[in-house]
Structures are given as C-alpha cells and as structure tokens.
Amino acid sequence: MDEILVDRDERGVVTLTLNRPQVKNAIVGDMWEELQRIFQEVTRRESDRVLVVTGAGGAFCAGAELSDDMATGTHPLNAMHPVNAAALALHEVSKPTIAKVRGVAVGAGMNLALGCDLIVAGESARFSQIFARRALSVDFGGTWLLPRLVGLHKAKELALFGDIISAEDARQIGIVNRVLPDDELDAFVSGWAERLAAGPPLALQMTKRMLANSLSQSLSEALSWEAAAQTVNFGSEDTREGVLAFIEKRTPVYHGR
C-alpha cells in the first residue's frame, strides 16, 4: 500500500510512515486495516525489535479523512470497527513503540501517537483532540489513553475544547517524552530505537505489558506478575548473557530466548 510505507533495518527497527503528505497524512479507507495488519505482524515477527511510527512531508497525522467516511455510505458504527481494531492492535504490539512527530498530530492522529510507548516531538509538532470542533466524540482510544497520561480533568479540558497545544506544552503535561529541533529528531529517535532494539526482548516485552496493565491491578496482583516475569527471565539465555557480559565487561548480545 503506497499510503503506508514500512521499512525494516538490520537492527530490528521497523519504521512505519504514513504517506499521504498532500493531506497531512490523514487516514482513509483500507489504511485502517493495513495499520492493524502491520501492528500484528510486528508482534509476530521475532526479528522485529522496535516500531517507529511517523508521517511523511512534515506532518504526523491529521486523523481520519472525514469526507471519505461520509461518502462511503457505510453505517458509522460499522465504519468504526476497523478504526477500533487498529487502535487495539497498536496497544497490543508487544515490542516497544515510538511515535516520531513533526507538524500536526490531531484527532485520531494524536491518539495514534498516544498509543505508542514513547513520543518524541519536533518543535514544529502540534497536538489536538480536535473532535469536538468537528461535532464528533473522541475515538482511536483517546478516552482511555488521555486520562492515564494527564489525569481526568486535564483530559476533559483537551477533549471538550479541542484546543491545539504546542510540543512544549504537550511535554509539560506528560504527553511527550522529548522535544527537539526538527532537524535533530531523526538522529535522536534512531538512537533511542537502536538502544531498545539492542535490549533484552523478553524482559522489555514483559515490562511493557506489566506497565500497561498496572492501573487496573492491585499491588498484590502486580507483584505476582513481576514474580512470574522474573521467573521467565532467570530461565532465559538472555539473562545469562546479561550477567556474563557484565562480568566480562562487554556489551551483551540478546536473542530473545
């Protein structure tokens, strides 16, 4: 699909680029199903270690292309099924995910970024839960993601007003991890992706899943999952490699086993 480009490098870094720069990478039609397929494929492929999501042409994503949705004649409830499936598939990607954001990330585009584990933004980045300004409710998981990131009252402010906020404002309220000059963005994200790709796959995947589940668990449940994860780690080749590399003062090489 020309509208979504996928690049895999020798480090295990997968880069997904939304490629409709003429409409600020708005998502249309079959792109939702393709996003779901790619997210699920990254989870399945052992050689894929990290997923970077970005947009072409100086924008991240302007959300869904509403003119297309209104022209198809599909009932809106049915039209939401592939949107929801893509959002859930992103949440369920077992590998670390990074959103690399330049320009606009609004509507479902903002929530596509929020669905990633980490967000690195260029100074040109702008974020908005723009739905209310189009007489729409929040979708692509925003009602679940936003309160967990910024708290309930701030989430209500962002969703009910739909104001556009800068990259720095997004960083200050806990949405964005780093803000950089646009020309430094690629190198920084590449460095983070390389570090994650070189990390222990099993340990990182289990840590990611436990953190994602933490807000719905008691401390006792979280401790039980931590114990189970450490049991898996201590039985793995990766942990033995990590300990041996520490003793031998060398860089460990992990294989996810």
Residue 256 lies in a domain: no
Q: What is the pTM of this model?
A: 0.93
Give the E-state strand segments of 139-177 in sequence order. Answer: 165-166
Pair (56, 94) in one structural domain: yes
Question: What pLDDT does residue 67 have?
Answer: 72
C-alpha span between 83 and 60 (Å, rounded): 17
Structural domain range at position 185: 4-197
Does residue 233 register a pLDDT over 80? yes
Counting other chains too, the contacts that 154-161 makes at CB distance below 8 Å and 24 or more residues apart are 158/128, 158/129, 159/129, 159/131, 159/132, 160/132, 161/132
Q: Which residues pair with 61 in a beta bridge?
A: 105
Does residue 72 register a pLDDT over 70? no
Mean pLDDT across the stretch 140-168?
96
Question: What pLDDT does residue 77 have?
Answer: 76
Pair (35, 147) in one structural domain: yes
The three-class DSSP label of residue 180 is: strand
Q: Which residue has the higher pLDDT, 78 or 153?
A: 153
Percent of the chain with pLDDT over 90: 92
pLDDT in tens, 178-187: 999 999 999 9
- Label residue 20 by pLDDT band (50, 70, 90): very high
Pair (50, 145) in one structural domain: yes
Pair (54, 90) in one structural domain: yes
The three-class DSSP label of residue 228 is: helix
Q: Which residue has the higher pLDDT, 45 or 74?
A: 45
Domain boundary among 197, 217, 235: 197
Question: What pLDDT does residue 73 have?
Answer: 62
